Amino acid sequence: AIIMAAATVFVVHADELDRDYFVSNRHSQWHRTIHQQNTDGSRKDGRTLYIDDFGAIPDSALRDWHNSEPLLFPEPFQFVDPSTTAISREQEREREHEQQHRVKLGEIATINRDAFNKALNQALAGDTVALKDGETYSFTGGILGEDLDSITIDFAGTANFIHNLDVWPIVTTQDGKKQMYVPAINIVTSKNVTLTSSSQNRAQVAWDKKTNEVNMVGNNTGGILNGNGKPWWNDCIIGRLPNAGDSRPRLVHVQSSADILVEYLTLVNSAFWTLTVEAVGSEIRYVNVVVDRDFKANLMNFHDPIILDQSTSSTTSSLLFASESRRRKLRAQDKENVGIHFPTGLPDWVDRHIHQPMDLNTDGIDVRGRNIWVHDCIVTNDDDSVAVKPTLNGRDTYYLHDTFHVPCTEHVLLENLILTGFGASIGSVTPTFSHKCVDHIIFRNISMPATGKGIYIKSNASPCEKGESAQLTNILYENVKIIEPAWWAIWIGPQAQHQPNTKLGDKCALTYPLDNSKCPTQACATFANITLRNIHISNPWLSPGVILGNVTNPIQNLIFDHVTVTETNPMDIYKGRFPFHHLHFPYKGKYQCKHTLGKAIASDPVPDCFEQ
C-alpha cells in the first residue's frame, strides 16, 4: 500500500476524535475569513497579482540563454574524479562561462525576489499574490511580507531558491554578535494569511508501506519550494559560514503573526529549518517536507570527493577531496568525545546506523505559539521531523505588535502524520530567566517508518544557577507506530546534539552513552504529566529508549500505557539490545531510566525505575 499527499490524495482520513478545543479557541475564523466578505456573507474575491506583472522572469523565458552556454544550475557542484590534478584550457573556459551564468542567474533571482516583494507591498485585503501554474522562478532570499492582512500567497508554480552567497542578503542581529542570512520567505506581524498552491499538478510524496520508503513520486512540480540546501550543507561542514553554520537561511519563516494557514506545499532541501510558524491560531495541513537524506549521509561520511561551490574559484583550489570517515570527523570536532568506538565484533550495520549525522538543523515543521493544528502531512528529513518549541522569550513574548501575550507554547494538536527523521519532538526547551515552557500538547495517529528517532521530549543545557527555569508539561503521545528506528525510539531528557565546528561544553553528547560520554540533566527543567499511550515500536536497531530525569527534580507522572516493542528476529544478539539489555538470555533490550516517577500499564519492557 502506498499513501500519498498531493493535490487531492491525502495521507489518511482524519477520524472523529474530539478537537473542539482547537477549533473553538482560535482567535478568529482562520482561513475562512481570508477573503473579504460581502454584507450577505458571500465571498468577495480580491485581485490576483502575478509576480510576472511586477517584473519577475520565469525560467521558461531563459531557455535561449540556457541553451547557449554551459549552465551551472541548479546544482553548484558535482562529483569529480579525485585523480584530476589539472584542467585544460577548454575546461577553464567552461568554468568562466559557468561563473558568468552564476552572476546572471544571481541578477535574475534578485529581480524576481524584488518583483515578489512589490506584489506583496501592493496587495490589499482579499488579494492573492501568485506564481503562474507550470512556471519555475528562481529567487534569492529576502521575500518579505510584513503587516499583511487577509492575503493569499499562491505557489501555483515552482519557487527555486539559488545558492549564491554574493547576492543572498545577510544581516547582523540586534545585539551585534551574529550574522544571519535572511529567510527565503519571511512573513512578519501579519494576520489572516494563507500560503498555498492552486496548481492542478502539485508535487506528490508517497510512503510505500512495503519498503518503508518515503519519496517524491511522479513529475509534478506545482507547489514546490526548493531550498537547494546541498551546497549550504557543504558550506556548513567546511566552516565557510558564520556562527558555525547557524547563519544558514530558513526556507519559510512566519513570525509574530495570527491566523495563519499553510497548505498544499512541498518544501524541498531547506538550507536550515524548513517551515517555522510562530503564531496565535495556525493550521498546517497537506504539507510535504523532503530532505535528501542519502546525500546528507554521504556528505557526513565524506566517502565521496566533491567540488564545493565551483563558482568561488576557477582553479583547482576550489576542490575539496575528503576521505576521512564520519567517526574521525566527530573526533576532530569534539575534543571531549575523543576515541568513539564500539566493542570488537559488532556487525557492520553499527557504523551505518548508530551515528546520527551531525546536526545540520534541517527541521521539518517547527511551531511556536498558541492554538496550533498540524495534520495530514508527510515529512522525511534528518532532524526534528516536527517540533513544538517554546516561544522565543518565554513570559516576555508578544505577537502581532503586542496584541497577544504568548508566554508559553500551548494547546497544540499534531495528528495524522507520516514522519521519517529525528523525532516527533517537544523542544528543545532551555531554562531561562523568562521561564520557557511547552504545555498541553497532543501527538496522535503518527506513523514513523524507518525513522531515525521516534518520540523525542527534550530540555537543553543550562547552568541552573541564577533562577533559570523551564517546563515541559501535560503532553500526550497516542497511537504512534515507530517502525525500524535507526536511533532511539523514545528519548525523554536533555537534548543530545552536536553541531559541526562546535565544542560540546555542558551539553548532552550526541553519542551518549558510548565511550563514557556524558549527558548532564537540568534541575531547573520540569518534566511532568507525560503520557505515552498505544505506542508500538517494531524492530528497533537499538535498545528502545532513554529516560533521564534529574536527581533533584525527577520526571513526574510519566505514564506508559500499552507501550510495546516487537522484534521479528529475537535471536539477533545485537538488534534491539544495544547498548541496554538484560543480563540473562535472551538479553532482551531495555530502557535506560533514571530519576523518574513513572507507571506502566500493559507495557513491555517496563522501564526499571517505574513502579512495578
pLDDT value at residue 86: 60
Instruction: Please count the other Cβ atoms lying within 10 Å of the Cβ belonging to residue 322.
Output: 17
Q: How far apart are CA 471 and CA 508, in angstroms?
A: 18
Domain 2-295, classified CATH 2.60.40, yes or no: no
Omega within 30 of 0 (cis) for the link into 605 = yes
When pLDDT is averaged across residues 402-420 and rounded to a whole number, the result is: 98
pLDDT value at residue 611: 79
Using an 8 Å Cβ cutoff, are 577 and 588 in contact?
Answer: yes
pLDDT classification of 597: cutoffs 50, 70, 90:
very high
Pick the range with the lowest mean pLDDT from 55-69, 173-187, 302-316, 459-473.
302-316
Q: Which residue has the higher pLDDT, 180 or 496?
A: 180
- Checking if the pLDDT of 456 tops 60, the result is yes
Using an 8 Å Cβ cutoff, are 424 and 446 in contact?
Answer: yes
How far does CA 231 lie from the centroid of its chain?
17
Instruction: State the burial class of residue 286 (Cβ atoms within 10 Å of its Cβ: 0-12, 13-18, 19+).
Output: buried
Strands 404-405 and 398-399, bridge-based pairing = antiparallel
> Looking up cell 521519517, which residue turns up?
420
Q: pLDDT exceeding 90 applies to what percent of the chain?
A: 62
- Checking if the pLDDT of 168 tops 70, the result is yes
Query: What are 180's three cell numbers?
Result: 544571519
When pLDDT is averaged across residues 294-313 and rounded to a whole number, the result is: 40
User: Quick one: DSSP state of residue 59?
Assistant: G
Omega within 30 of 0 (cis) for the link into 428 = yes
Strand pairing partners for 144? 186
pLDDT value at residue 498: 61
Omega within 30 of 0 (cis) for the link into 544 = no
Spans of all domains in the chain: 2-295, 379-612
Using an 8 Å Cβ cutoff, are 131 and 156 in contact?
Answer: yes
Give the pLDDT confidence of 305-330 residue by residue, as tens digits. 322 232 333 222 222 222 222 222 32
Q: How far apart are CA 569 and CA 273, in angstroms?
A: 37
Which phi and psi angles does 93 have, rounded to 5°?
-65, -40
Query: What are 114's three cell numbers?
Result: 524584488
Give the pLDDT confidence of 481-525 residue by residue, as tens digits. 999 999 999 999 999 876 555 666 788 988 899 878 899 999 999
Q: Which residue has the higher pLDDT, 300 or 199?
A: 199
User: Quick one: DSSP state of residue 604?
Assistant: B
Max mean pLDDT range (181-195, 222-236, 238-252, 500-514): 181-195
pLDDT value at residue 239: 86
This prediction's pTM:
0.84
When pLDDT is averaged across residues 115-138 and rounded to a whole number, the result is: 98
- Checking if the pLDDT of 340 tops 70, the result is no
The backbone region for 587, taken as left when phi is positive above 0, alpha when psi lies in -120 to 50, beta otherwise, is left
Mean predicted lDDT score pLDDT of the chain: 82
- Checking if the pLDDT of 536 tops 50, the result is yes
Which of 284, 375, 364, 291 has the alpha carbon at shortest distance from 11? 375
Return the exposure string of 258-269: e unless at least 16 CB atoms fall within 10 Å of the residue's CB, then b. bbbbbbbbbbbb
Which of 149, 380, 377 has the alpha carbon at shortest distance from 269? 380
pLDDT classification of 45: cutoffs 50, 70, 90:
confident
pLDDT value at residue 511: 83
pLDDT value at residue 65: 52
**Coil vs helix vs strand at 69:** coil
pLDDT value at residue 298: 54
Pick the range with the lowest mean pLDDT from 50-59, 275-284, 359-368.
359-368
Cα-Cα-Cα-Cα torsion 473, 477, 478, 483, nearest 10 degrees, comes to -170
pLDDT classification of 15: cutoffs 50, 70, 90:
very low
pLDDT value at residue 448: 98
- Checking if the pLDDT of 68 tops 70, the result is no
When pLDDT is averaged across residues 534-559 and rounded to a whole number, the result is: 97
User: Quick one: DSSP state of residue 393?
Assistant: T
End-to-end CA separation in angstroms for the chain: 40
- Checking if the pLDDT of 600 tops 90, the result is yes
Query: What are 58's three cell numbers?
Result: 520565469
> Residues near 350 by Cβ (< 8 Å), separated by ≥ 6?
342, 574, 578
- Checking if the pLDDT of 349 tops 90, the result is no
Which phi and psi angles does 517 have, rounded to 5°?
-70, 160
pLDDT classification of 32: cutoffs 50, 70, 90:
very low
Q: pLDDT exceeding 70 applies to what percent of the chain?
A: 76
DSSP labels, 251-295: SEEEEEEEEEEEES-EEE--SS--EEEEEEEEEEES-EEE--HHH
pLDDT value at residue 408: 98
> Looking up cell 554551459, which residue turns up?
70
When pLDDT is averaged across residues 282-307 and rounded to a whole number, the result is: 67
**Coil vs helix vs strand at 12:** coil
pLDDT value at residue 585: 74
Query: What are 468's three cell numbers?
Result: 533559570
**Coil vs helix vs strand at 115:** helix
Strands 213-217 and 252-263, bridge-based pairing = unpaired
| CA distances, 368 to each of 90, 287, 426, 443, 565 (Å) | 53, 17, 11, 15, 32
Using an 8 Å Cβ cutoff, are 457 and 496 in contact?
Answer: no
